[in-house]
Amino acid sequence: MLLPLASCSNGNTTGAGGEKGTVTQGLVSGPPSLTVLPERKWPTMAALSSSTGLEALLSTLQDSVDAGNTLNILNVLDELLSAGTDRRIHYVISKGGSEALLRALVNTARAPAPNYAVLLPLLHLLAKVGHRDRKIGQKAEKAEAVLLTLGLLRQNMKRARRAAACLWVLQAFCSSVSTASFIGKNRGLDFVFKLISSHTTKHTRTVKAAIDTLAAILHSKANSRCAVTKGYISRLLKLYEAWHHKDTDNVNVPIRIALLHCLHHATNTAAGSAALVAEGGMALLFQTTQACLGTKCLESLVESAVQLMRKCFPKCPVPLTSDQSVYSFPLPGRPISSLATDPGPQDDSFEDDSDDDAKTDEPDHREYDDDLETDLEKLRCRPEPDRPLEQLGQYVRLCPELHHDFPDLDSCSELEDSSDEELILDGEGRKQGGRILGHRREQGDSSGAACQKQASPEEAETPPVREGGGPAEKGLKARDGCGRRHSRSRAKTDDHSMVDRLLKSHGACIPNHDPRKYTAAAARTKSIAGYSILAFPDFWGHLPPNHQEPMASRKPNVQRQKVFEDIQRLLCPEDVIDQVVFDLEDPSPPGLQEHPDSLHFFSKFECGNLRKAVRVRNQEYDLILNADVNCSQHLQWFYFEVSGMSASVPYRFNIINCEKANSQFNYGMQPVLYSVREALQGRGHWVRVGSEICYYRNHFRPSGQQKGPSYYTLSFSVTFRHSDDVCYLAYHYPYTYSALQTHLQMLEQSVDPRKVFFRQQSLCSTLAGNPCPLVTITACPPCRSWSHLYQLRNRPYVVLTARVHPGESNASWVMKGTLEFLCSSDPVAEGLREAYIFKIVPMLNPDGVINGTHRCSLNGEDLNRQWMKPDPALSPTIYHTKGFLYYLSSIGRTPLVFSDYHGHSRKKNVFLYGCSVKETLWQSGSSVNTATLKEDPGYRTIPKTLDRIAPAFSFNSCSYLVEKSREATARVVVWRELGVLRSYTLESTYNGCDQGIYKGLQTGTRELEEMGLKFCQSLLSLRRNTLLYNRKFFNHASALLDLDDSLLDHKSHNSFEDDEPPCVEEIEYLSDSCPEHGGDKLDSEVNGNVSSSEEEGVEEERRDGPRNGALRPDRRSCVIPHPVCDASPETLTAKRAMRSGVDIVNGESFS
């Protein structure tokens, strides 16, 4: 028997095995460009191109009036779609498959006595195809098939198989929200709900289909509102409870999950969530879920219930009177009242507040990123300077190296200069210098005598701490926890004698740190709150621990457990203590008197930012961070003191007002802790601590908002080693402004002034009146000869900046590494000083750092978005850094390299962002012909070199794209306006590395400092030729860089990997974590319906013809009774040929 396509339209075939393979063979070859396998027997096939073959078949289907013929075509289609991948179905859909099936459905169902022998397979096939056609809803409405199917359902409420088939089709239609609403308006909700019975063992497939369809109908918010008013939420909860209790052997888990899915959809409105809570849904879900824990087959049920509870958990405002920062600062030219105009977090989402992360925030599957700059003019043309040339004269003072004439140096003859002998001599001399240097350091460390001799005028103003004098006027004191559990009002003199005692008995021995100098520096630091207390770690100093710290492993379901505990607050409010034990605005909060056994918190010190602590349970505290000064946002950084603990008791801390949508705390990162007791025993280390760490969306929202998104909780547990210790917890290793001042002062004293030209100047004063340091480092000339001075004054400039974002303390540690290396006697450092003049602004945002902000300066704005037009009054450090760069440019000394050090909160490793016209255009899909564009590829030299020499660095994470949203950042402005080819953002992880020798380890300050050193070393690769005159140095450089460019290209490029795989636990409950009904799952249910034992009519079943009784897991040919099951060997061969043939969509072989 034949089913040649040519004769299909005649409708006179009955369909049998023989031709089937042929038809599908023709169809399978798919797109017209593919060769149709030659078919000798039926020349009509060869004559037809494959796609027209499929179209002919579909057109025959929709016009067919003969039942046998229709069945035959359905059979062929089903066979065709059952093999291979979903791409076949999508191909058929693209050829009008859905429309043909709908048409056939309408034709068949409108007949006076619908033939269910045809209708049922038709519905089954339509369900399978419809679930994969995103436009099936609209198509069905157009074909007038929606109400028709609903009508069929009403007629067959008592016939389980037919009802199930109608339900699946309706469910597919509901993928369009408007179709779902349409079905709701036509009482679809009620008909479907009627089919959902309480616990039963009969017709469970149909019950499941009804629940799934109800969920699909509830897609439409109008329908879910309607469900709330009709009381369906309470009824669904009762149904869920009944199934939970009766389904004791867990055979109907899918039904229970489907009910939860319905509840998810029904609670998509505020009224729905409120109804669920009012009906006791939280308690019911909580209790039923507890009973399901630990049973493996119930995992996804538990997950769905947990997400539902999280979603419906009533939102409450954080317990603050205002989200606005406790600290405000009057801005020049702005009335204080304008501060109140900060709009606070916007409704849809918190701003993406990282340089770094915008692009990786959302899984974005668009082919091109429309944030990329595609305007060639903007990419290539340098805009006019933002200020007149005359204003640049003020920066002459910032280049003392160009005017200094080194009066202390001898003059020497030109002849000696050029000889190798001289260079070797020079090397010897240097060695001598190193010894002197070492000696000086010893002196400095032991007695400080050398330091005093060279003390700067500023230091002279503030003598070292002693009893009753110097900074005592300011009342500065270090907090060590000795005998201060309840009192914060010790006599100042006690503190100073305490400091002296401490220093006498323990004597800090941390390189480039001195507690006394730190105290003196801190006394000069101006803060908004007028800090009078030093945090002990900053005072005492930090040394990295000897061992490296692996990333923390995540306990399974740690977040779930925390969410359960959160939910218990709602269910058992009487168990919650809810007492404020610390409040930045209230020195003696009531909770502290009532709970003397509570932990004590404190944060009124440099970089500290805890605003409030609430004791929730005996060993659990909710912590609220202070927003950035003059605004109500940017909550991520934290640093606070905790005391009054008992040893060996786990305390749970929840930072409840975090803003970011995800965090490295979910991927192995731990906060850092510093113990005063440990430090006094010689272990002054910040260490990574915390267990049961997780980060998830919570039920708190900003205090001033009725609607909108909620905050995230960072939760972790800490077990303290000592009782009655004083400990400090922070987001990352703190690095204060006072620490920088101390460090610079000590560095300056450490260098040999005859060898190293080191100048610290004030770039400008910040808004709060703190000097913003600018450091110059280069080599002094060996003598005063003209050629040496000329060489010095013509060295290229390297400009480095850091810490524009105060919360990125990692950037300061990298900068510390850079500064220390550049001041060191390492031969490579010597070579670099001889090759370059380094201009370093180590802290672009001192005010932000001092006052514990995360992102902004005192004006509540991100300084790294001000570079295009920096305001001299509001963003002075940016204004003058840019002005200084303009100045260098105006004297023909545009920097060779500019790099701004940052921290990256979402990614691992260290990497660079640079700027490239070509890469941006490629990546943006721009039509500009980049082949004709000339671009110096030199911007890649440093990252390539770093990839070789810096273990934490990852070349694959680098990017050179210019984004519109980043056009006002340092990197892009310095590149575009100043024309610096090598303009970078250096991003360092807060967490650790996932490659190289540090893989699996969290970074410590040692690794961060090493990165700063390696960045300097990488600069060698730019100046190789100029450096060759120094033979000794050349050997070092060669060994270090392995000067072979070809080797530098060993890593692949342009894999912009995503930050992390999705978190194992849902961080967000807003995105409905209940998975949509997958097409494959539906297939097996549909197939089950074909072979169902839950039949309503035996006669009907007979008419369906012979059937394979086994329930098959795949979607292969179960829709339709098989007229071809006894196929001839020839057909089977043809089928095999088809299966191992060519994919219909792209011609790939499949098997």
103 versus 805: smaller Cβ distance to Zn ion = 805
Answer for which of 660, 685, 902, 982 binds Zn ion (CB under 5 A) is: 902
Segment interacting with Zn ion, rule: CB under 5 A, options 55-63, 902-910, 1014-1022, 1088-1096: 902-910
Using Cβ positions, the residue closest to Zn ion within the complex turns out to be: 902
CB of 1015 to Zn ion, least distance (A): 16
The candidate with the shortest Cα–Cα distance to 394, out of 863, 761, 737, is 761
541 versus 734: smaller Cβ distance to Zn ion = 734
Q: How big is the site for Zn ion, counted in residues (CB under 5 A)?
A: 4
Segment interacting with Zn ion, rule: CB under 5 A, options 27-35, 251-259, 350-358, 532-540: 350-358
Segment interacting with Zn ion, rule: CB under 5 A, options 65-73, 351-359, 834-842, 1070-1078: 351-359
805 versus 880: smaller Cβ distance to Zn ion = 805
CA geometry: angle at 578 spanning 575 and 581, to 5°? 135
CB of 803 to Zn ion, least distance (A): 9
CB of 354 to Zn ion, least distance (A): 6
Structure tokens at 121: 């397979």
987 versus 1010: smaller Cβ distance to Zn ion = 987
Q: Measured between alpha carbons, how far is 698 from 623 in angstroms, rounded to an integer?
A: 13
Residue 283: partners with Cβ closer than 8 Å, 6 or more residues away:
571
> Does residue 801 sit in helix, strand or coil?
strand
Contact assessment for residue 637 and residue 852, using Cβ atoms and an 8 Å cutoff = yes
CB of 952 to Zn ion, least distance (A): 17
User: CA dist 963 to 862, 870, 904, 923, 929, Å?
Assistant: 17, 19, 17, 11, 19
725 versus 808: smaller Cβ distance to Zn ion = 808
Q: Which long-range contacts (CB under 8 A, 24 or more apart) does 558-562 make?
A: 558/692, 558/693, 558/694, 558/1065, 559/694, 559/696, 559/1065, 559/1067, 560/302, 560/303, 560/306, 560/1065, 561/692, 562/654, 562/692, 562/694, 562/696, 562/713, 562/715
Residue 457: partners with Cβ closer than 8 Å, 6 or more residues away:
none
Q: Environment class of residue 896 by beta-carbon count within 10 Å: exposed (0-12), middle (13-18) or buried (19+)?
A: buried
Q: Measured between alpha carbons, how far is 715 from 609 in angstroms, rounded to an integer?
A: 17
679 versus 799: smaller Cβ distance to Zn ion = 799
State the DSSP code for 998.
G
675 versus 905: smaller Cβ distance to Zn ion = 905
The candidate with the shortest Cα–Cα distance to 892, out of 402, 265, 371, is 402
Q: Which residue shows structure tokens 């499941």? A: 208
- Gyration radius (Cα) of the chain, Å: 37
CB of 901 to Zn ion, least distance (A): 9
Structure tokens at 673: 């802790």
CB of 886 to Zn ion, least distance (A): 23
749 versus 954: smaller Cβ distance to Zn ion = 954
303 versus 900: smaller Cβ distance to Zn ion = 900
Within positions 181 to 240, which residues make up the interface with Zn ion, using CB under 5 A? none
Q: Measured between alpha carbons, how far is 121 from 73 in angstroms, rounded to an integer?
A: 11
Within positions 391 to 420, which residues make up the interface with Zn ion, using CB under 5 A? none
CB of 904 to Zn ion, least distance (A): 7
**Burial per residue of 1078-1101, b for 16 or more beta-carbon CB atoms within 10 angstroms, e otherwise:** ebeebbebbbbbbebeeeeeeeee
Q: Which residue shows structure tokens 């991927």? A: 667
Residue 353 engages Zn ion in binding (rule: CB under 5 A) = no
CB of 663 to Zn ion, least distance (A): 16
Q: Environment class of residue 416 by beta-carbon count within 10 Å: exposed (0-12), middle (13-18) or buried (19+)?
A: middle
62 versus 812: smaller Cβ distance to Zn ion = 812
CB of 914 to Zn ion, least distance (A): 16
Residue 805 engages Zn ion in binding (rule: CB under 5 A) = yes
Segment interacting with Zn ion, rule: CB under 5 A, options 1-9, 188-196, 353-361, 936-944: 353-361
Does an H or E element contain 655, and which? Answer: strand 650-658
Segment interacting with Zn ion, rule: CB under 5 A, options 270-278, 355-363, 838-846, 867-875: 355-363
What counts of helices (H) and strands (E) characterise the chain?
Answer: 47, 24
Q: 737-750 and 515-524 are packed helices; what angle lies between their axes, rounded to 10 degrees?
A: 120
| Residue 1041: count of CB within 10 angstroms of its CB | 20
| Residue 687: count of CB within 10 angstroms of its CB | 17
Q: Environment class of residue 561 by beta-carbon count within 10 Å: exposed (0-12), middle (13-18) or buried (19+)?
A: middle
Segment interacting with Zn ion, rule: CB under 5 A, options 334-342, 461-469, 502-510, 797-805: 797-805
Residue 156 Cα to chain centre, angstroms: 51
Segment interacting with Zn ion, rule: CB under 5 A, options 627-635, 660-668, 801-809, 950-958: 801-809
| Residue 1044: count of CB within 10 angstroms of its CB | 8
- Give the residue numbers marked as catalytic: 987
Does an H or E element contain 317, and which? Answer: strand 316-317
Segment interacting with Zn ion, rule: CB under 5 A, options 74-82, 384-392, 808-816, 851-859: 808-816
637 versus 998: smaller Cβ distance to Zn ion = 637
Q: Measured between alpha carbons, how far is 736 from 639 in angstroms, rounded to an integer?
A: 11
CB of 808 to Zn ion, least distance (A): 5
Answer for which of 78, 303, 355, 862 binds Zn ion (CB under 5 A) is: 355
Segment interacting with Zn ion, rule: CB under 5 A, options 265-273, 730-738, 804-812, 1076-1084: 804-812
- Name beta bridge partners: 610: 625
CB of 897 to Zn ion, least distance (A): 19
Q: Environment class of residue 875 by beta-carbon count within 10 Å: exposed (0-12), middle (13-18) or buried (19+)?
A: buried
CB of 1011 to Zn ion, least distance (A): 15
Residue 1014 engages Zn ion in binding (rule: CB under 5 A) = no
User: CA dist 36 to 590, 955, 989, 1147, Å?
Assistant: 85, 47, 55, 11
609 versus 945: smaller Cβ distance to Zn ion = 609
Within positions 662 to 721, which residues make up the interface with Zn ion, using CB under 5 A? none
Three-state SS across 78-93?
HHHHHCCCHHHHHHHH
The candidate with the shortest Cα–Cα distance to 626, out of 596, 582, 588, 681, is 582
986 versus 1144: smaller Cβ distance to Zn ion = 986
Residue 163 Cα to chain centre, angstroms: 46
**Going residue by residue from 859 to 898, which x/- string records binding to Zn ion, judged by CB under 5 A?**
----------------------------------------
CB of 859 to Zn ion, least distance (A): 17
Residues in contact with Zn ion by CB under 5 A are 355, 805, 808, 902
